[in-house]
Amino acid sequence: MANWKTIAEEAADVASGTNSAIKNVEKALKLIEDNSEYQAIINVIKDRALYRAKEIDAKVAKGEKVGRLVGVPFIAKDNFLTYGSETTAASNILKGFEAPYQSTAINKLEAEGAICVAKANLDAFAHGGSTENSDFFVTKNPLDKTRVAGGSSGGSAAAVALGLAPFALGSDTGGSIRQPSSFCGVVGLKPTYGLVSRSGVVAMASSTDVIGPITTSVQDAALVLDVMSGTDPLDSTTIVRNNQPYTVYKQPNTPKIGVIKEYMDEGVDPEVKKVIEEAIQRLKNAGAKIEYVSLPSLPLALAVYYIVVPAEVSSNLSRYDGQRFGFSDGTAVNLDDSYELSRSRGFGAEAKRRIMIGTHVLSSGYYDAYYKKAQTVRTKLCQEFTSVFEKVDYLLGPVVPEVAFKIGANSEDPLKMYLVDIMTVASNLVGVPAISVPAGTAQGMPVGIQLIAPQQHDLDLLQLAKWYEETR
């Protein structure tokens, strides 16, 4: 792993002139090249990154004011629209697409002096938990190249674990930041729904998509969130952020933490469970009040997710029709052929599967039987989370019931792959913030602990996570 300082320290070194943005960008580009065997990166944004670095160094030399992330390189998941590179969402249907505008999150980071140096691999359109659904290649786990890095933000998590840059961006629709962060041994934050603008990020499921950072520490995650968060006129779902900076650390005062019973049952790998139980004991020793709590509808969350999300996927992917941008089949002789051939040849198997499931649950005769019932259970889940947060301040459990699995182990069994999301989807369905923090190892591979807070309590969540980090 490359020796990067904290994000704040890296920025301070550039601002003071003891280091330069050019050196940081060149270092990141070299590390990306040297670690290409892990297949974490789809595109490198070399020319634009070096150009921005020269501009930043010139500003510093003139004594002009610079931002909090000045000269710090970062990597964006390839579903973020960026200048200077293609944005493919790891799908052949978008291969060659260069965005005419840039995502709000990246604009905010650049306004503070950060420099996007590359685009990370993912499951195509963020559909998956292993990057095996990428149309280009499978990202390998930095700790064991025979295992997956997780997904869908597997390239971003692997990039941070490999030290290619101080931080990366991911998107989390049902665990896509937290799960790969657990598999790769890094910090992955899913903020409250709407806290970070989704404008300029390729949509998967609009009611659960969340943007967040992947870093090596909670402190770094807090800083990136502090820069990215807040309202955006280009995204009507954004919410007003906390007035207090997310970077202000105050040790929690005897926090009441509820261990989710449903996440600690017989379905969890015994070694993973042991790591989480040891983490619980550390928190208890540090002064936390621990109790076990139950959310009765939680076992239904995965079924709800795989009805609601494919329904939104089928709607969101309808724009990829071969007419305006992306892949268009040149052999078509009429409009109907163009739609059919462009979509059948451009989309991968998992995208097609989710489109068909989503179209089915929304179709006449099935809407009431599936989609409407799923939304009813989703409301019940929201009520149960609200109720349990009246008894405890936070919730706790594993991120995933197992460690990173072998490449190819689940690829022939979609249902088994979907079950990997069993402990992460509920947070997305109810819109609460959640974070994965390294907790230990099982079978020689990283295990993350998942901490969850009520909606808009992102600052409290970060403070608990940092407190936990310090108990290790």
- Active-site residue set: 77, 152, 176
Beta strands in 56-206 (DSSP E): 73-77, 115-120, 140-141, 144-148, 167-172, 187-190
**What gap in Å lies between CA 43 and CA 85, rounded to an integer?**
7
DSSP conformation class of 371: I
**What gap in Å lies between CA 379 and CA 223, rounded to an integer?**
32
Peptide bond into 152 cis (omega under 30): yes
User: Quick check: 280 and 290 in contact, CB under 8 A?
Assistant: yes
Name beta bridge partners: 213.
Answer: 169
DSSP conformation class of 18: S
**What gap in Å lies between CA 439 and CA 469, rounded to an integer?**
8
Q: Report angle CA 423, 425, 429 to the nearest 5 degrees.
A: 140
Strand 434-442 to strand 289-293: parallel, antiparallel, or no bridges (unpaired)?
unpaired
> Distance of CA 270 to CAs 135, 266, 443, Å?
34, 8, 11
**What gap in Å lies between CA 99 and CA 82, rounded to an integer?**
7
Amino acid at the residue 449: I
**Cβ atoms < 10 Å from Cβ of 383:** 12
User: Quick check: 76 and 107 in contact, CB under 8 A?
Assistant: no
**What gap in Å lies between CA 287 and CA 253, rounded to an integer?**
8
User: Quick check: 283 and 257 in contact, CB under 8 A?
Assistant: yes
Nearest to 201 by CA among 166, 180, 176: 176
> Distance of CA 34 to CAs 28, 131, 156, 450, 456, Å?
10, 21, 16, 32, 40
Supply the angle between the helices 218-228 and 458-471 in degrees, to the nearest 10: 160
User: Quick check: 32 and 44 in contact, CB under 8 A?
Assistant: yes
Beta strands in 256-318 (DSSP E): 256-260, 289-293
**What gap in Å lies between CA 234 and CA 198, rounded to an integer?**
9
User: Quick one: how far is CA 125 from the chain centroid?
Assistant: 13
